Structure 1
Amino acid sequence: MKFIKLKTVVFYVFSLVFIYSCSNNNELITEEEARVNPISIQGSISSDVRHYDNQGPHDHNHSTERSTGFTETFETGSKSSYAGASVNLSSGSWYLDDALIGSLSNDRKFGSYSSRIRNTGYAIMQFNMDNGATSVSVRHAKYGSDGSSSWRLIASFDNGASWYYVGETVNTTSTTLNTVTFEVNETRAVRYGVYKTSGGSNRINIDNIEITTSSGGGSGTAAQDSNLTFGNPSDAGTSNSNNYFLSRDDYTLSYNNSRGTPNWVSWHLSTAWTGDSPRCNCFRQDTSLPSNFFRATTSDYTGSGFDRGHICPSADRTYSDAANANTFFMTNIAPQAPDNNQRSWASLENYCRELIREGNELHIISGVAGSGGTGRNGFSSTIDNGNITVPDSFWKVILVLPNGTNDINRVSTSTRVIAVNIPNDQGISTSWSSFRTSVDAIENLTGYDLFENISNTVEAALESRVDDVPIN
């Protein structure tokens, strides 16, 4: 019988238990099928990992219950040792044992950080999803040149006292981050975790754990999903100043220090992201950039003849004042011709918000390309004495799905995708639909892979098509 020590527990209860595992139709399995070795999990009063056919991880802290879903990117918080310890992350407190948060080149990650687990370590939540969970998605890959390993999703329904296996064993055999989604449809208060079950000292990276909830992500219900569900288009990280990854709760982006603008911005849009907060009009320098980077200010645009053009729109983030203010960081801004910004581009933004009011959710990636545009003062390639490049065009790609969960697996060859590339000039058409193109054309223009997490067959069909839905 094997036990895993948990170092923060008040006391341990070790017992071999016989439980039942429920299938999707709640049929019981035999005691022999249900019997497993108990595993002691840190941060719990007692902990037996048992087999349960419903998935997800979360460790509970009564003071930090959650009722809405989230994506844990491991971009906040710090843990450099494998020794068991709690760490405060953007979603709440987690406990990592035989696991750390890594930022090395061998760590497979979206952005700058991911969790790294070895031996039979784990990462568990120390808070509950108090209204349950609908789905859990986990990105996983092998660390460096390590061999393959296996892991399980585990869940606790009693504040971390007992833990259950959820779903099937996942084998990690690739150095590319792949996504596995567990449809849990759990209505009880629950917390989830990832527990490495085989592979010995081989290490695995776990990143972007996304949990959707029935109150904020159930089927047919608007949710705040990950802003990077379909991949990192340019493999942005922190080693390249012209492809520098930044992540906020309200969007993710790749910043180009040479251009002084984002390369691209990615965000999710549904009615869960919109509300009554007013436009703050609070353009501000982004001091989260490294100190040796160019950090644009609003005054750098004064008198340029170009608008301070949002990539992720202010009106897409009105569920709170803080969210709206986040869109005014200058890393989300680029010099935009007024006729582009205020007419065709604004019309497309309004159209996107019409789509979500009709019961859809959107995954949007948008950015800039080329250099040289025409503003109020005529043509210019740069502003602010060359510090900020004026784009030749603004592009946007929009994937449209009805509200629901498990978005990656719901995408089919019939899914609607809108792609536009709008010249950054005065006097252009006021109708955004006249600038529709294919995703393939945008990828050829930029060199990005915009939907890398979709199967190749579906991706090829979607990206070659030009949207032709009539626009009123």
Structure 2
Amino acid sequence: MRGDAAVPTLFNGNFDAVFNPQGGNRTIFSNAIPGWSFHNGETSASVTTNNLVDVNQLSASDAPALHAELDRIGVDRTKPNYALKLESGKSITHNRFVVPESGTLRFNLHVPNPSGGQLKVSIKGTESTTEEWQDLTPIELTRAANPDTLINPLDPNSLARPNAVGYYDYNVVGYSDPYTNKLAYAEQGFETFHLKIPDNLRDKPALLQFKVEGGSEVYLDDVFFNSVHLKLGNPTFARPSEDTHRENYLIEKPQYSLSYNDATKGPNWVSWQLNKSWLGTIGQGDLKLKDRNKYPPVGFPPPILDSGSGMTLTSPDSSYPPGYFVDYPWSVDPTLPDTWVKTQGPDYRRNQRNFERGHMTAAAERSRTYKDIYSTFLTTNLLPQHEDNNGGMWAQLEDYGRNQLVKDNNRELYIIAGGFDYSPAVPPGHSDLREINNKISTNTQGRVILDSNGTLTPNPKTIGIPNYTWKIIVPLEPGQGIADVTANTQVIAVITPNRRSRETPAPNYRLPDSPSYPNGFLPNGVTNWKNWQQWRVNVDYLEALTGYDFLSNLPEEIQEVIETDSSSPLV
């Protein structure tokens, strides 16, 4: 039985702290679910160990979609994995616990036949007998809109897909997200949901309750206060405080977690898990409408909109009008604080230095549902990357991890990536600009627009460009955790120059100096600029450059070994 950490953030949040829950001896003495059974307010609990189901033993007739999905992603069926089966009208409450000082509430849901209703989640402080239950955002037990659904049945081009990451609603003057708390992957597997906890309950004792209302039946699992994407650590101790952590602001999503820097308008780092369950068949081409005349797609929010009455409506985050065919579906991240300046897709174009909107969490690594792949097109998940970096060694490393490690060898990867060095100093061969500049002009209507013949002008949002990008990959077996990481665990660490490629070898090339590495790294130089393996370094070197504490959840004695390795054999 394992939780989300060495000391679980919620005892028995994965319902595995019980042996043979339907066994005769257990039901004779107690059918209580450890950690969950004693505060339901019932004389005789309606949810007991009889509601625990080993999902790995469900047959194809019991749960056909889940059975097929577990086979597809290569789950080891010999190991038990219990989930709680909750039917309509049933509820379960966790015994009193202390709410962690940080960390989103996350849980996994499988809903085999969504038929409406809600999963109600509530929390209640227990320091005083007068405290009331506080309802969190409910999970709607209905499907998120199919991206191919027609908003207008009479218009074959009015697809619903533009709204999969939410949109700017000009009627209510704010961002709307009608999809995050609806079901997508939950019909075939276990989908992760995140809910925000009231700040006034942090570090205080509380109760937590789940209740199903309506006609749906759900399987609940992995209830914890820690994102799975931060299993190996939070390298900058990021926190979701706009007052104290403006340059280290924690954002936790079901698809990835990140530390956002409002000064550079981009992530310090993005961290995510990758295994077969995240991979599907949706590609970036599926997000595009083939006919340029159909843009903007119905529902996709333009930064500037001309209303029917002739008024110009402007979202608070617009700099330039979009070119929909090239900017869609990049969108503002609505989870950033309302008062912060946010970036839009057009902010990165016409920069005249060949910088692209470079995904940190790749779209191809979140390809199982439209909701997942669209989440990678939020601008908090990008750094400006030179096209030779983004499409060269960076893309090669993505392919190696996704195809060879995950698809071919069924590994579960824990990945973290980011940028380094926004200083005014310009290493040889790098761009002379450390912030995004755009070529702009003023059109006949007096509006500032992006224009290839315009004047190169600093973007007003001061979007930083890193001189280098880096990535760390820790491959594990599916289901493994911190206790399974040993001194022999393979670690891949790279740092790549964010500049154009050199056509000739660079035998004297050096990466930046650091206190621990005064002569830089790559003592043998570079003979093939586009080969990601030639940019391998060790984690210790990346820590010296960035000041971050990577893999901080691992024991120190393990860190000391694997963080100094830069040449472990590759799978």
> Aligning the two structures, in what range does the TM-score lie when normalised by the shorter sequence?
0.5 to 0.7
- Structure 1 residues 303 and 101: alpha-carbon distance in aligned structure 2, compared to 1, 3 A threshold: closer
Say whether residues 1:340 and 2:384 are aligned partners: no
Q: What is the CA distance between 1:192 and its match in structure 2?
A: 6.7
1:43-442 matched pairs, under 5 angstroms: 46-47=45-46, 58=84, 60-62=86-88, 73-74=104-105, 82-84=131-133, 87-88=136-137, 101-103=197-199, 107=202, 116-118=204-206, 122-126=207-211, 207-208=225-226, 226-239=228-241, 240-279=245-284, 280=287, 282-304=329-351, 305=353, 306-354=355-403, 355-358=405-408, 359-371=410-422, 378-384=431-437, 385=458, 387-403=462-478, 405-428=479-502, 429-442=529-542
On the 8 A contact 1:59/1:191 being kept in 2, the answer is: yes
Kindly provide the amino acid, as one letter, of the partner of residue 422 in structure 1.
Answer: T
On the 8 A contact 1:227/1:267 being kept in 2, the answer is: yes
Kindly provide the amino acid, as one letter, of the partner of residue 344 in structure 2.
Answer: T
- Structure 1 residues 35 and 251: alpha-carbon distance in aligned structure 2, compared to 1, 3 A threshold: closer
CA distance in structure 2 between the aligned counterparts of 1:101 and 1:190, rounded to whole angstroms: 22
CA distance in structure 2 between the aligned counterparts of 1:412 and 1:26, rounded to whole angstroms: 35
| 257-266 vs 229-238, which moves further | 229-238
Who is 1:183 aligned against? none
CA distance in structure 1 between the aligned counterparts of 2:140 and 2:473, rounded to whole angstroms: 27
| Structure 1 residue matching 2:105: 3-state secondary structure | coil
**Equivalenced residues, count:** 341
On the 8 A contact 2:330/2:377 being kept in 1, the answer is: yes
| 243-252 vs 52-61, which moves further | 52-61
- Structure 1 residues 272 and 91: alpha-carbon distance in aligned structure 2, compared to 1, 3 A threshold: farther
Kindly provide the amino acid, as one letter, of the partner of residue 104 in structure 2.
Answer: T
Q: Say what the alpha-carbon RMSD is for the aligned residues.
A: 4.2
Kindly provide the amino acid, as one letter, of the partner of residue 232 in structure 1.
Answer: N
| Structure 2 residue matching 1:382: 3-state secondary structure | coil
C-alpha distance after superposition, 1:423-461 (max 9, x if no partner): 111125101111111111112222222212222222221
CA radius of gyration, larger in: 2
On the 8 A contact 2:123/2:209 being kept in 1, the answer is: no
Q: What is the CA distance between 1:207 and its match in structure 2?
A: 1.6
- Structure 1 residues 434 and 47: alpha-carbon distance in aligned structure 2, compared to 1, 3 A threshold: same
Kindly provide the amino acid, as one letter, of the partner of residue 382 in structure 1.
Answer: E
Kindly provide the amino acid, as one letter, of the partner of residue 356 in structure 1.
Answer: V
Q: What is the CA distance between 1:123 and its match in structure 2?
A: 2.3
On the 8 A contact 2:21/2:31 being kept in 1, the answer is: no
On the 8 A contact 2:136/2:197 being kept in 1, the answer is: no
On the 8 A contact 1:297/1:330 being kept in 2, the answer is: yes
Kindly provide the amino acid, as one letter, of the partner of residue 205 in structure 2.
Answer: I
CA distance in structure 2 between the aligned counterparts of 1:30 and 1:235, rounded to whole angstroms: 42
CA distance in structure 2 between the aligned counterparts of 1:124 and 1:469, rounded to whole angstroms: 47
Specify every segment of 5 or more residues in structure 2 that has no aligned partner in the other structure, as ranges: 1-16, 53-79, 92-102, 108-120, 126-130, 142-180, 182-195, 288-327, 438-457, 503-528
On the 8 A contact 1:39/1:47 being kept in 2, the answer is: no
| Structure 2 residue matching 1:441: 3-state secondary structure | helix
On the 8 A contact 2:106/2:222 being kept in 1, the answer is: no
| 456-465 vs 263-272, which moves further | 456-465
CA distance in structure 1 between the aligned counterparts of 2:543 and 2:48, rounded to whole angstroms: 46
TM-score (norm 1): 0.62
CA distance in structure 1 between the aligned counterparts of 2:376 and 2:18, rounded to whole angstroms: 44
Percent identity among equivalent residues? Answer: 26
Specify every segment of 5 or more residues in structure 1 that has no aligned partner in the other structure, as ranges: 1-20, 66-71, 94-99, 109-115, 129-158, 160-188, 195-205, 211-225
C-alpha distance after superposition, 1:232-272 (max 9, x if no partner): 22111122111111122111111100001110001111121
| Structure 2 residue matching 1:389: 3-state secondary structure | coil
Kindly provide the amino acid, as one letter, of the partner of residue 370 in structure 1.
Answer: D
Kindly provide the amino acid, as one letter, of the partner of residue 380 in structure 1.
Answer: L
CA distance in structure 1 between the aligned counterparts of 2:359 and 2:541, rounded to whole angstroms: 23
